[in-house]
Amino acid sequence: MRNFKGKIEEDVLFQKKILRQDMMRLHKTEEEYLTVSNGRFYRNSYLDGKRISKYISAEEKRLLGYLLRRGLYKKRIKVIQNNLRYEEQLLKHYQPYNQNSILEKMSSAYKIGFASIEFLEDEVINSAQEIYQKYSFFSEETFPGHKTVRGDKRRSKSEVIISNLLDEYKVKYQYEEPLYWNEDISYNMQTIAYQNKLPQKILPDFTIKKADGSDIYWEHLGLLSDADYRKKWSDKQLFYFLQGINQGDRLIVTCDDAEGRFDSSIAASIIEQLAREQGDVLF
């Protein structure tokens, strides 16, 4: 079964992180807000119970940006606090519905009966699971079943090659470890991300942590002939760029050729260089 509860717990932790950041930002600023009248923006605050409203000129873009961000943080705090109330209640009352969990709530007759025969999970559950995996809210497609020497599943044969080589060279790595959006980047970068409807997180193919604590990300492209795949990669590439992660620095990009083949010697040379130039790679 899908680990739905685990995903909600992950989302709760992420939202709490954003909540702490936003509350720290607001703590450092004055209590003021933005209004607009006849196309003109005004900065508003209160002094001795009276509202003070000052016009923001076209030259005061930094001030306008500050008030916009402040309003966004304040509204997001309320939204996240509301989300957390509902999600924490859901986690409190949520019950897993896989076969073993349900059997735990049934009488001994059913437990003994199921233990005495070979019984597969209900076909309705399996069918629903297939649909859920295909259209997952969390954008994690079903793995096709390619496996590394260690038995770990990968989405493509090329990723299997890279994984096996990383293991062979004893380079520690994480596969598809979530990389979350950094809210501390500039307002302009955040605006670009919003306009392009970028997600709050991506799943890099491989994340390698250097001895100095910095991360290197490795993306392998395999379906560039597919328009939808190219669009997803374009969005992912923009996500990296806005985070200050660029190819040739902290981002490695490899790809299959036009016939879908991948030269493993390319991956081997990259991994050798990582081991030689960047020292021990640790987790």
> Is residue 215 helix, strand or coil?
strand
Residues of the chain with CATH 3.40.1350: 146-277
Where residue 42 falls among pLDDT bands split at 50, 70, 90?
very high
Report the 10 Å Cβ neighbour count for 162: 27
Report the 10 Å Cβ neighbour count for 32: 15
Q: How does pLDDT run across 120-166, given as a tens digit for each residue?
A: 545 444 544 444 444 333 344 555 668 899 989 998 899 999 999 99
Pick one of 3.30.1490, 3.40.50, 1.10.287, 3.10.450 as the CATH number of 4-94. Answer: 1.10.287
> Which of residues 236 and 111 earns the better pLDDT score?
236
Which amino acid is residue 268, in one-letter code? A
The answer to whether 71 and 33 are in contact (CB under 8 A) is yes
The answer to whether 99 and 121 are in contact (CB under 8 A) is yes
* Structural domain 146-277, CATH architecture: 3-Layer(aba) Sandwich (3.40)
The verdict on pTM exceeding 0.85 is no
- Indicate whether 175 pLDDT > 80: yes
The encoded tokens of residue 253 equal 């990009």
Where residue 55 falls among pLDDT bands split at 50, 70, 90?
very high
The encoded tokens of residue 45 equal 């605050």
Report the distance separating Cα 147 and Cα 1, nearest Å.
Answer: 20
* Helix, strand, coil share (%) of the chain residues, nearest 5: 45, 15, 35
Lowest pLDDT segment from 100-114, 131-145, 194-208, 267-281: 131-145
Q: What is the pLDDT of residue 218?
A: 96
Report the distance separating Cα 271 and Cα 222, nearest Å.
Answer: 19
Average pLDDT rounded to a whole number, residues 75-102 = 85
Q: At 261, which helix (H) or strand (E)?
A: none
- Indicate whether 200 pLDDT > 70: yes
> Is residue 217 helix, strand or coil?
strand
Q: What is the pLDDT of residue 3?
A: 59
Q: What integer best gives the mean pLDDT of the chain?
A: 81
Residues of the chain with CATH 1.10.287: 4-94
Report the 10 Å Cβ neighbour count for 59: 7
